[in-house]
Amino acid sequence: MENLTKEIEYITSNEKGDIFKILAQYGKTNLENSSILDLEIVNGIVSSIERSTIYITSDYANYNYVNQNSKFYSNVIVKYDDKLITCDNLDITISDNIAVAYSNVIVKDSNSIMKTQIMTLDLVTKDININSRNDIKINTNYKRQILNNLNLKVKKQEILGMLGPNGVGKSTIFNLITGLKNPNFGEVVIQGINVTNLPINERFTKFKLGLVPQYGGLIHDLSMLDNLKLVAEIHIRQRELREQKINKIVSQFEFEALLNIKAKHLSGGQKKKLVIAMALINDPKILLLDEPFAALDILTIRMLQEIILNLQSTEEISVVICDHQARDASGSPNEVISNQAAKTEYFGDEFNIN
């Protein structure tokens, strides 16, 4: 990491009015071509007068700032109009207005889901051309309704738990809040401001969101300390303030003995504590935890629950937790089961507590 430039932000444009903005946590000049930047943890935005804005995220990218062509790879997600495209690799040629996605491509829109190995997307006409005989198109002209008439309000310094079985839309609610998905109707409002049309990065930075995903959220080949530093260097520009924040987190989570251990060697509970700590680096006002207790033993669950309660009182943040385990619900068993909606929709009408 010593040779990498941190906090990359590059904006270029051409005579046609194309604007390419790319953000990355790390980057360096390609050894074989000085016009190419090798980037890690990437957000890209392509916009112009003649095309809709394209939002791209990926683990890695190669960006040519001379001709604006780019290659994104590893966990690539593309949002474009009503389409959501995921793939292993994405090449964009700005001069030809063409994007090519290949390897494990899934294209979703409001009516269908299509799987293929390679596809091209015309960035102007929005036409998709499938170039594989192994395509699978499913759910044509069919919408599966996930959420309906949802009216969710989270108060300041409140811990809100969402309990429900798999597939009912708990994670979808988080995707709506963070901007990974757009609602068909309605609004997402944070601090009194409608953020429904704001991209993911603006929601996290401007409105102080913190997300603890169910899986991942850290870099396994970095030590615990380097994971904390990575996030701190993105959100906190002043070195002294960064060090103060990291020291506070280390003390708060009792990380002292683990700082030099690579994340891949941590236990499940230690990894989850680290991801929560990383989400707190930017002092979030709202912390979203997606099934934080999944696959953990009961003692680790109790430890994490205590950490969450302390965050509510000491950091004065709002916490939203989704889970599908009834045992992790807050409140007494009688309080939980007395909710008729929970009994009908989750436990079943015949469920009783003796």
* DSSP state string for 4-53: SEEEEEEEEE-TT--EEEEEEEEEEE-SS-TTEEEEEEEEEEEE-SSS--
* Mean pLDDT estimate for the chain: 78
Distance CA 46, CA 92 (A): 10
pLDDT tens digit sequence for 306-353: 887 887 777 788 889 887 665 545 555 566 556 666 555 444 555 454
pLDDT score of 51: 58
Does pLDDT of 231 surpass 50?
Answer: yes
CATH number belonging to the domain at 5-138, selected among 1.20.1090.10, 2.60.450.10, 3.30.420.40, 3.30.360.10: 2.60.450.10
Domains 5-138 and 159-323 share a fold: no
pLDDT tens digit sequence for 137-154: 434 344 456 777 778 888
pLDDT score of 244: 93
Q: Which of 10-24, 26-40, 59-73, 261-275 has the highest mean pLDDT?
A: 261-275
Q: Residue 118: which H helix or E strand, with range?
A: strand 113-122
The CATH class for the domain spanning 159-323 reads: alpha beta
Amino acid sitting at position 243: E
CA-CA-CA-CA torsion for 195, 71, 61, 137, nearest 10 degrees? 60
What tokens does 133 get?
């005989």
Distance CA 79, CA 59 (A): 16
Q: Residue 252: which H helix or E strand, with range?
A: helix 239-253
Residue 276 gets the label, from left (phi > 0), alpha (psi -120 to 50) or beta, of: alpha
Distance CA 282, CA 234 (A): 9
Paired strand residues for 54: 46, 80
User: Taking Cα atoms as reference points, which of 237, 292, 306, 296 lies closest to residue 267?
Assistant: 296
Residue 258 and residue 270 in contact, taking contact as beta carbons nearer than 8 Å? yes
Q: List the chain domain ranges.
A: 5-138, 159-323
Question: Over pLDDT 70: what percentage of the chain?
Answer: 79
Give this prediction's pTM.
Answer: 0.54
User: Taking Cα atoms as reference points, which of 10, 17, 102, 24 lies closest to residue 64?
Assistant: 10
DSSP state of 223: B
Radius of gyration of the chain (CA): 22
Q: How confident is the model at residue 157 (pLDDT cuts 50, 70, 90)?
A: confident
